[in-house]
Every structure is written in C-alpha cells, then in structure tokens.
Structure 1
C-alpha cells in the first residue's frame, strides 16, 4: 500500500507463507531472517523491516509524504504507527500464531520453530479488542489515525483491522468512527495493492 500511495513502480514477488516459501533456500538468500516484506534495492541492498523500508522510500520519493513533513507530524505519525504495530498487529499476530493449527511450532516469525502458548492467543484477542477501542477514540477526534493527513499509520491500522478478521475480532457496531474510517480506507486505490 505504501508503494501504491507513492506510485512507485516495482516488481512484486509474492511469497506464500501458508506454503512456507519464506523458509526456502532461495528466500533465505534474500532474507536469512525468513520474514516478509523484503525490499531489494536497485543497489542490491535488502531491507527487511517495515520501518526501514518506509524511511528509505520516503527519502527517495518524498511526494506524497507518508511519514509527515513537520517535526510534530513526523512525531505523531511515528507514535501512532508504533501503537498500531504494537497494540494492533502484535496482538492479532499473537492470537493467530498461538492458536492456529497451521502455525503449530511457528508461534514466532523467523527461521526457528517456536511452540505455541495458548494463553498468549487469549491475551492477543483481548488486547486487539482494547486496541480497537483506542483507535475508535483517536478517529473520533481526527480524520486520519495520526491527524489531518493520510500516513503510514493509516496503512498499518488498515492492515490491523483486516488482519483482525482472521482471529474473529472486528470493530464493534458502536465504534462508528473506526468503521467509517475503515470504509474510507477500503475505497482508496492503494487498498487493492
């Protein structure tokens, strides 16, 4: 979605996580950490973390700014993106990775097999519900997650809401600001990216 918002042309190679393609020898040559995404730059450097990829692309392609332009915007976007990652994505991942039979011994991403802890799945579900309440409050006072402008925090939060469906945690009917915002995000061309 970040690349689509900036209209950056790129080759997109899908890695099928359900088939374990991230564990293949071919992918380990790209990212020994066996995680996605991975961005191979024109210089041959591989970036493997969302924050680093976003910072790199924002520096190369400053228009449309997705990490903010003023010091305060940058701080607010970084804060809310971190909250979306920690409060939202990590909670959903904790629930999914510790409950899905398909992820037995894959409770954490990466090259090592890690056993599931069912209690962490329960905690993840609870935390994700709390996060949706926090996000609804934030969006009740703001057009976008981090303020008045669309940003990487909106991208991350959109992924959280969509990912939540995998663990059967969705925004509640009374979380109207969150539901309205998510409808606007789904209408963006980058949503289909």
Structure 2
C-alpha cells in the first residue's frame, strides 16, 4: 500500500465515497481521510461549503488547496497519477468502452436505485419533495435494470466493459451494495450478473 501525503479526502457513508475508496484500494493507494458526519450535518457547515458549495462528498483537497469534487473526477485524477492498474481503459477502445459502460450503469441502475432512496428514505425528507409512489415504481423497475445488464453480459465477458476490471465495475459494485442496503439485492435468477457479482465481491476492494 502506497501512502500519499499532502492531500486529504473528505468522505463518509454513501456510494460516491465508496466508489473512490474502491478505486484507491484497487490501485493500492492510501490517502488521509477526513470523515464527514451526515448525522450532525457537517456537509452543510459553512466551512465545508467553502470546499464544495453543493454540500456533497467526496471532496479531495490537494496540498496547494486545489479542490476536486465528484467521485469519478477524483478517480480520474488518481488514474492519471497512477495509471496501473488501468481502471479507465488501457487504450483508446478500452477507454471508450469503460466510459460507455460506466455511464450506462450510472444512468440505468444507479439512478433507479438512487430514486428509491431519495423518495422513500427518512434521511432525504428535508432535501427534496419526496414522492413515495415514484419510489415504488422505481423499486419495481430495479430487477429489470439488472436483467438488461445480464442480457448484455451473455457474451461471457467477465467484467462489465470487457475482459478487464474497470470503473464500470466499480459503479456496478456500488449499485450492488446500495441495492442490498435498501433491500433490492441483485436478482438470483440472472446467471451472468450473479457470476459478475460474486467475482467483484471476492475482490479485496469490496471491503473498502
């Protein structure tokens, strides 16, 4: 594990912080962590809002004060600094596929699961106007989203974007984790996705 100094990662509970921690674990990097407590609304405190006016985590602060927000952007920063193992693809085609599949996983699966959380969980009741009926329709849609991915992976590829583990799999991992948390596990009758799910859960980075 390579320890990095001169920067701090403000993070906490939630899928986006988890995504960055998986990325760091896959690359064998250790960054000083600053835990942000949602329960006490540290993410809305004036000092934190100076780092990210949206009041969201994660936030990477470099030693010169430069701030990087958004989990995929933070992952890309570490990819440029430490390109091996490549999580965004090793050549032009692999990069395009990693980007394509990461975006598809985010839009089709993560957004759907997130809508259930946003519109049903007590934590978000003061953040937006909740529509419980919408949450229920989204909950019903989740199995179909995983079934779509199962069909796409019927070509036998081991990972979402192809033969190599990538950012698309990391996004898939946070979908699988978040689905478990909100009682929407990956359906057991999807053989291709289930094999992928078992494969990524066996990686040490799952425990990041």
Same fold (TM over 0.5): yes
Residue 153 (structure 1) shift: 0.6
Q: Does 1:35 align with 2:56?
A: yes
Matched, 1:135 2:156: no
Q: The residue matched to 2:35 in structure 1 has which SS? A: coil
The structure 2 residue matched to 1:126, chosen from 140, 154, 157, is 140
Q: TM-score, normalised by structure 1?
A: 0.89
TM-score, normalised on structure 2? 0.83
Q: Structure 1 unaligned runs (5+)?
A: 107-113
Residues 87-166 of structure 1 aligned to structure 2 (within 5 Å): 87-106=108-127, 114-141=128-155, 142-166=157-181
- 5+ residue gaps, structure 2: 1-21
Question: Which residue in the other structure is 1:182 paired with?
Answer: 197
2:193 matches 1:172: no
Q: How many corresponding residue pairs? A: 186
Q: CA RMSD in A?
A: 1.6
| Runs (4+) off by over 6 Å | none
SS of the equivalent of 1:17 reads coil
2:85 matched to 1:70?
A: no
Structure with the higher fraction of residues in strand conformation: 2
Residues 136, 94 of structure 1: alpha-carbon distance in 2 compared, 3 angstrom cutoff: same
